Structure 1
């Protein structure tokens, strides 16, 4: 088990080390390897805004204190969701049914009602979590565009750049469905960033139960992964070789895993633990990820309590 990094100095070192990591997958390998740009976007935001690291350090200190002090409660968080669809082609203008299918997947995955949750190995069954957060689709906004791809510089989140501004981001989860490009399936903004760009971006090909055309990312788990980031979860390998995801009950991973690794998959990090490759915060195929851990649950819950970075959603 990993030691949790507590001090601001250690966290600043963590951000520094993570700048050596890249997540952009080549376009040719998009169907073979998951591409999430959340860490890449965070690195760019940290460079552009030196105060962001301080805000994130404060959020981390609050999170650790809330987890250690038992401040978390068993209240329910219900997240209103606004989906912003930006489309150039009819295929990109995804249907209301496909959008609702994504909301359904989020509800299953965050409440352990997904059918594959029962596949959790016995080794991890004691820490497999029902996060207990629900999602309700509130609004779908649609906008026709001439853009063939949007990249990861948040243009889709800005009306002045042809996108759509977020709606009430302190009390609603905004999601953008569009063509991202660059082999990126999605990315999210971590707590602490600007409200003007807060939310989650998912490539429209991987939004919801989109069918065999998006295999092996056709089960809606890209959004589960990215919403995990939006709720302050790191990649399970800590974006560094044998790094820390700041969660105590997830094993140390060498690096990202792809495809569907055969169980048990051993790490070569200290103690050679069995890696939790089925965790949503790894890079495995959609059919290979199906659980959060209790430690991740506590970390997510901490942002919603009074004083937390997303307290506007409330517990």
Structure 2
């Protein structure tokens, strides 16, 4: 009996000893788990029927990504890590470093340090010249001006954004400057989408230091294709965007796609944005919380509201497929994704170091 009483006394002392003193600082034990269960890289884009209609072939980025994933076994893992870094950045955005207070809080997941202020991206324009599709200095200058207007919320058409989305329009504070122009005569009528225009060995122009410059190749892609881009995580030698000659800058030859927004769209991909409909059905997302779900691209100049997946589409978003003059906003959530890649250990951190 005495042994039992003694044992109970020891247990009581242990319980009391484990209780925190009211004056002690208790570390925050909240575990931070970044949910990656919805992450995807492969899409259904390869199942689409080929077309020479620019409307249907506006952007080939996801088809190019599917090809790159097959050719580069490590790309999916690199993109997974970049997405986890991005989600971690967004999760901790605006949160205190030690949420437990008193200096005792802990952060189980390393917190990316954001880059604050304007980001300046120098641009190298690589032109594979086709006399039938000239790219003039005026085209180049207008394209840089369009990029700066679009990424700094100075597109004049933004005044037409519906009230539903008015509070979501972002100024990304990303500025583009023309660093260099490389020209090379070309007799290739269609360069395709296998990155030949990016390699001297294939008759193209090699990239200029992709860790510090955005490379844009302007050429005749062919097949009615307007452009394509490479997501962060891809091979450095092919990093950048490709734009069809008629769709670069203010260019009458481009028709409804001749006002420079193909480049804005493709640079969005280069900055880690997906198509606004997620390249799937209603449940496949673009990883952005404030863009409505949709099940496909919009074309032309849609009226508002355009309803899909039981919500109004943000058809005026640069990452949709509408006519150039009918796209005029990035969302705050998209801005968070773009800013994340410049944060500590982000895939484009070198641009702000």
**TM-score, with structure 2 as normaliser:** 0.82
Residues 46-125 of structure 1 aligned to structure 2 (within 5 Å): 46-70=69-93, 71-89=113-131, 91-125=132-166
Runs of 5+ unmatched residues, structure 1? 1-5
Task: Give the Cα–Cα distance (whole angstroms) in 2 for the partners of residues 21 and 280 of structure 1.
Answer: 22
Higher gyration radius (CA): 2
Aligned residue number for residue 229 of structure 1: 269
1:94, 1:105 → 2: CA distance?
A: 16
Return the offset for 1:93: 3.5
Which residue number corresponds to residue 292 of structure 1? Answer: 330
Contact 1:127 1:249 in 2 (8 A): yes
Q: In 2, are the aligned partners of 1:79 and 1:173 still within 8 Å (CA)?
A: yes
Instruction: Give the C-alpha shift of residue 68 in structure 1.
Output: 1.1
Over 3 Å counting, the alpha-carbon distance change for 1:257 and 1:220 in structure 2 is same
Q: Any conservation in 1 of the 2:45–2:63 contact (CA below 8 Å)?
A: no
Contact preservation (8 Å) 1:111, 1:130: yes
1:145 aligns with 2:186: yes
1:86-235 map, 5 Å: 86-89=128-131, 91-211=132-252, 213-235=253-275
Alpha-carbon distance in structure 1 between the residues aligned to 2:248 and 2:203: 21
| Structure 2 Cα separation of the partners of residues 22 and 94 of structure 1 | 33
Q: Measure the CA separation in 1 of the matches of 2:330 and 2:38.
A: 25
- Secondary structure of 2:257's match? coil
Equivalent residue runs for 1:25-36 within 5 Å: 26-27=51-52, 29-30=53-54, 32-33=55-56, 35-36=58-59
CA-CA distance at 1:92 after TM superposition = 2.8
Cα-Cα RMSD: 1.6
Distance of 1:123 and 1:60 partners within structure 2: 28
Q: Is the 8 A contact 2:317 2:329 kept in 1?
A: yes
Shift of 1:305: 1.4
How far did 1:21 drift? Answer: 4.6
The alignment partner of 2:75 has SS state of helix
The answer to whether structure 1 residue 255 and structure 2 residue 296 are counterparts is yes
Q: What secondary structure, in the 3-state scheme, does the structure 2 residue paired with 1:215 have? A: helix
2:307 aligns to what SS in structure 1?
A: coil
Contact (CA 8 Å) 1:188, 1:199: kept in 2 or not? yes
The answer on 1:15 being equivalent to 2:57 is: no
- CA apart distance, 1:88: 2.7
How big is each residue's C-alpha offset from its partner over 1:109-162, in whole Å with a ceiling of 9 and x where there is no partner? 000111111111110011111111000001000000110110000000000000
Which runs of 5 or more structure 2 residues have no equivalent in the other structure?
1-33, 94-112
Alignment coverage as a number of residue pairs: 301
CA distance in 1 between partners of 2:37 and 2:163 (Å): 37
Alpha-carbon distance in structure 2 between the residues aligned to 1:23 and 1:82: 32
